């Protein structure tokens, strides 16, 4: 029996999963496998932003759309035609089509979306609806009303001062 029971089974399962994910079990394999661009999603008080790493893709091969409150980004990285596959010793870059879909929260305005592509990074900015943005609420002190920093006199105070 090996040092840890079941470790061989785990290793075999991992290898099968890795082969299915990245294509082929042999190091010399020239399969392209699945291309899935990495994405960062972050939020500030005005918008939700996505950054997708898509180097080597022409902007004409990228498609960004919103349908039924789902943002979809798709594209294709093509293998250069002038380079013949049989001349490669190793291919580690991924090629092919991809689609990434993101369900949008109700706080996003689907009418105000911007997409910019620069240096292999696609940035998608989704503006938040006005009612979803944080609002600063002024707090009154001591039960006295304040309007734009001025103290408002109550009617009782006005009458006693007039008498």
Summarised one tens digit per residue, pLDDT across range 39-62 is: 999 999 899 999 999 998 989 999
- Classified as helix, coil or strand, 23 is coil
User: Bridge partners of 42?
Assistant: 49
Give the contacts of 139 (CB within 8 A, at least 6 positions apart): none
- Classified as helix, coil or strand, 162 is helix
* 84-124: pLDDT as tens digits: 666 777 777 788 899 999 999 988 998 999 999 999 999 99
CA dist 91 and 56 (Å) reads: 15
Asked if 99 and 74 count as a contact pair (C-beta separation under 8 A), the reply is yes
* H or E stretch at 126: strand 121-128
Quickly count: other Cβ atoms within 10 Å of residue 66's Cβ: 16
Model pTM? 0.59
CA dist 51 and 125 (Å) reads: 9
CA dist 44 and 66 (Å) reads: 21
CATH number of 35-133: 2.60.40.790
Position 33 scores a pLDDT of 55
Question: What confidence tier does 29 reach under pLDDT thresholds 50, 70, 90?
Answer: very low
């Amino acid at each position: 029996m090996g040092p840890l029971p079941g470790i061989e089974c785990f290793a075999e399962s991992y290898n099968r999963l890795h082969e299915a994910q990245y294509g082929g079990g042999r190091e010399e394999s020239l399969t392209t496998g699945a291309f899935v661009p990495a994405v960062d999603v972050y939020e500030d008080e005005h918008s939700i932003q996505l950054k997708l790493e898509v180097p080597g893709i022409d902007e004409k091969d990228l498609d960004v759309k919103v349908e039924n409150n789902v943002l979809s980004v798709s594209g294709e990285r093509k293998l250069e035609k002038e380079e013949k596959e049989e001349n490669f010793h190793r291919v580690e870059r991924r090629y092919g089509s991809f689609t990434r879909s993101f369900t949008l929260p109700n706080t996003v305005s689907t009418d105000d979306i911007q997409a910019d592509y620069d240096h292999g990074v696609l940035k998608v900015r989704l503006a938040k609806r006005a009612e979803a943005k944080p609002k600063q609420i002024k707090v009154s002190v001591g039960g006295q009303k304040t309007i734009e920093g001025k103290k408002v006199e109550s009617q009782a105070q006005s009458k006693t001062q007039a008498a």
